[in-house]
Amino acid sequence: MINIFAEASCNRYVRDECQYCHVYEPLSQISKSDWHLTPEQAQIMADKISQVEIFRELAKREINLTGGEPSQNPHIVEVLKIFKKLTPNVRIHTNLDISSEKSQRWQRLVGIMKLSGRVDFTLYPTVWESRQKPLLVKILELQNELIVNMIFEKVPDLSRQIEILIAFFAGREKKFQPVLSLLEIYRAKLASLLKENPECDENTFLQHMDGVENYSCADSFTFGLNMIPGFYVDKNGERAMNAQPFPKDINLLECTIPRGTIEIITVQQTGEITPCCDVGNLKCQPKFGNLLMNSPAEIMRQVERSRKKIIAGTAKNHQNMNNGKAGEWVEEGVPPYCV
Ligand code: SF4
């Protein structure tokens, strides 16, 4: 999968939920004149992606246009058309915090769905009833798949969001019955966890939820849940990997590169390519070059250099953890919690 930041602006930065937003600090450094990814920039990116084999293969799986809030980009439909030439699977990730169907942002989302781009959204309980819910009804009329992102800090938080979705899907068409069944499994699992261990740590949570699917695919409708623990990000953009209250443990990132695969890259607004979903908040120093500025050959050289650094850096992180030096940065610039 390739994540591409199509918009630096987000209309929710001033809201309460966004004090923990991991993209705030990296994106806030982009000047207003560069907020929107232009079709010209998108074309350069698409051309380079198709010339670098690793990226071409990742793009075939999926391109995710994100940000910031991509529906704020006035060119987003044109941008989508350009990336559609690389893969049928282009999706857009929106906050769906949109006031009405008359909004230009909503019109852009409709344009995207009509071109078979998939719209996914992040559930925000504070604007669910007034803004997200009415438009989600419309989205389900226009596309036959959906991923809902849920950011949570505590298990009760996640449980409340599951209840919101159950209330929404209950009583809808028969084709949504499998979605409801999936959500009911989560309801029951979370209820028993809350009863037994309401202040559980991440390990307990993961053990309890082990084996539960996060998607359903039946009756011509595909539905997925993407549950993301919220992390506190301080004013310098440092992400606290042991943010309270959930998860309580240091959260290790299992990097796929030492395991021999690149599964995801992220292209920032500036063209800079990071070798995972790091948008700049993890501060991983080995990068894959710049998709706007570098030639395909330069990018490949950079990929090879960074691959070696990540393999060496994660090995040193293992040693540090075993030697009581967890948390120390290594010279390769690989974050200390990446293994
Ligand atoms: S080492 Fe770098 S590329 Fe790997 S998971 Fe960590 S931040 Fe991402």
CA 284 to centroid of ligand 1, rounded, Å: 6
CA 221 to centroid of ligand 1, rounded, Å: 34
187 residue type, one letter: R
Confidence (pLDDT) at 151? 83
Q: How far apart are CA 159 and CA 194, in angstroms?
A: 9
Element of type H or E holding 322: helix 296-322
Query: Ligand 1 pocket check: which of 272, 278, 303 to mutate, most ligand atoms within 8 Å of Cβ?
Result: 278
Residue 15 pLDDT greater than 70, yes or no: no
pLDDT band at 178 (very low <50, low <70, confident <90, very high): very high
Q: How far apart are CA 283 and CA 90, in angstroms?
A: 27
pLDDT band at 250 (very low <50, low <70, confident <90, very high): low
Closest ligand 1 atom to residue 286 Cα is 2
Q: How far apart are CA 207 and CA 327, in angstroms?
A: 25
Query: Ligand 1 pocket check: which of 22, 231, 250, 257 to mutate, most ligand atoms within 8 Å of Cβ?
Result: 257
CA 248 to centroid of ligand 1, rounded, Å: 21
Angle between helices 202-209 and 177-196 (to 10 degrees): 140
Average pLDDT over residues 267-273: 92
Give ligand 1 pocket residues (Cβ under 6 A). 253, 255, 257, 275-276, 278, 282, 284, 310, 334-335, 338
Q: How far apart are CA 238 and CA 240, in angstroms?
A: 6
**Of 171 and 92, more confident:** 92
204 residue type, one letter: T
* Beta-bridge partners for 273: 267
Give residue 237's Cα distance to chain centre.
17
> Would you list the domain boundaries of the chain?
2-153+230-307
Q: Which two tokens stand for residue 237?
A: 């953009």
Residue with tokens 């915090």: 97
CA 159 to centroid of ligand 1, rounded, Å: 30
With a CB cutoff of 8 Å and minimum separation 6, the contacts of 204 are 193, 197
CA 19 to centroid of ligand 1, rounded, Å: 23
CATH topology of domain 2-153+230-307: TIM Barrel (3.20.20)
Q: Model pTM?
A: 0.88
Confidence (pLDDT) at 30? 82
